[in-house]
Amino acid sequence: MRPRGRGWLKFAHPVIATLPMSAVGLGVFLIGTACIIYWSFTQSAALPNWSWSGPTQYFILWNNPNWRAAITNMAIFLPVVVAANLIVGGLLAICLDRGVKFLGLFHSLFLYPYAMSLYVSGLVWQWIFDPHLGLEPLVRSWGLTWFHFAPTADPSQALAGLLVAGCWQSIGLTMAILLAGLRTIDPEIWHAARVEGISTARTYVSIILPMIRGPIGTAVFLQVVSALRTYDLSVAMADDPYRPTWMPAVYVIKSVWYEMTLRQGAAASTMLLLPIALLVALRVVGGRLRARATLD
């Protein structure tokens, strides 16, 4: 006979196995985040200072033209990249779900950019956009002498180049997430839609997309977080990242490591944390509301 009283062990093993990860999550993320928020209300320089000084750093932050330029760039970069990733990644996922040939090749082509270092990708795009070596001289050699697109040399086009690189880097991830969601759809739903005479496009818009709102929400969340953390591409694609591809993450790194003003870097990091915290709160509240509606 099996000894009694040991049934709890099968439930305790998973908990014990996740303790190291939980400890790291608590110690590094929660405590670290709390320290960053607190330091934004201090006069911390190269090293932390625990003396409270109030919200002075936030007034300094929003009066800094570099930070305002970074927020302006982010206000353009984030919605464009997220929208492009959802549209292009969604269309690619639909094509793959419909049975496109050479599925493995397409997976590799679109997922490979996401596996690359962002800094390496930035350097590659810097070469592509070079006005003497890259895209511009190639297109002009075809006879289109009016063509001009050199983001690394023309400040007015720098943000457009960053947008192209940012979309290319992360479309594959969105495609993979949405494709996984599409693969969970019961084939009977498609059969019923065909019986009712509903077109394929309307089936996707009215039936399929609402059914995979979970994967869509996950893709949006990951893309927003990735966009807010944009640093490597901005630095790699511009000789002077202070202008015109300045991003909030660049401001944070420069404040902490180059200007030795931990207080400003902490204040900027806290401002970047707010939209992420809002997204997390919306997902939690939305999940609870859907669960309650299901029970009712």
pTM score: 0.79
Cis peptide before 244 (omega within 30 of 0): yes
70 in a structural domain: yes
Which of 126, 210, 229, 130 lies closest to 170 in space, CA to CA? 229
Over 50: is that where the pLDDT of 1 sits?
Answer: no
Highest mean pLDDT among 77-86, 165-174, 280-289: 77-86
Q: How confident is the model at residue 83 (pLDDT cuts 50, 70, 90)?
A: very high
Total domain count, the chain: 1
For range 140-158, the mean pLDDT: 81
pLDDT in tens, 60-69: 999 998 899 8
Q: How confident is the model at residue 6 (pLDDT cuts 50, 70, 90)?
A: low
Over 90: is that where the pLDDT of 153 sits?
Answer: no
Tokens linked to 224: 């927003």
pLDDT in tens, 231-257: 888 887 775 544 677 889 888 888 888
**Any alpha helices (H) in the chain, and if so which ranges?**
9-24, 31-39, 56-62, 65-97, 103-115, 118-128, 135-141, 158-182, 187-195, 200-203, 209-211, 213-228, 232-237, 248-253, 262-295
Which of 231, 237, 227, 226 lies closest to 125 in space, CA to CA? 237
41 in a structural domain: no
Residue located via tokens 């996984």: 180
Tokens linked to 50: 């625990």
260 in a structural domain: yes
Q: Tally the C-alpha atoms within 13 A of residue 89's C-alpha that lie toward its C-beta.
A: 30
85 in a structural domain: yes
57 in a structural domain: no
The answer to whether residues 142 and 190 touch, using CB atoms and an 8 Å cutoff, is no
216 in a structural domain: yes
pLDDT at 160: 85
pLDDT at 232: 80
Cis peptide before 113 (omega within 30 of 0): no
267 in a structural domain: yes
Print the domain residue range for 206.
Answer: 64-295
Whole-number Å distance between alpha carbons of 28 and 173: 26
CATH number at residue 127: 1.10.3720.10
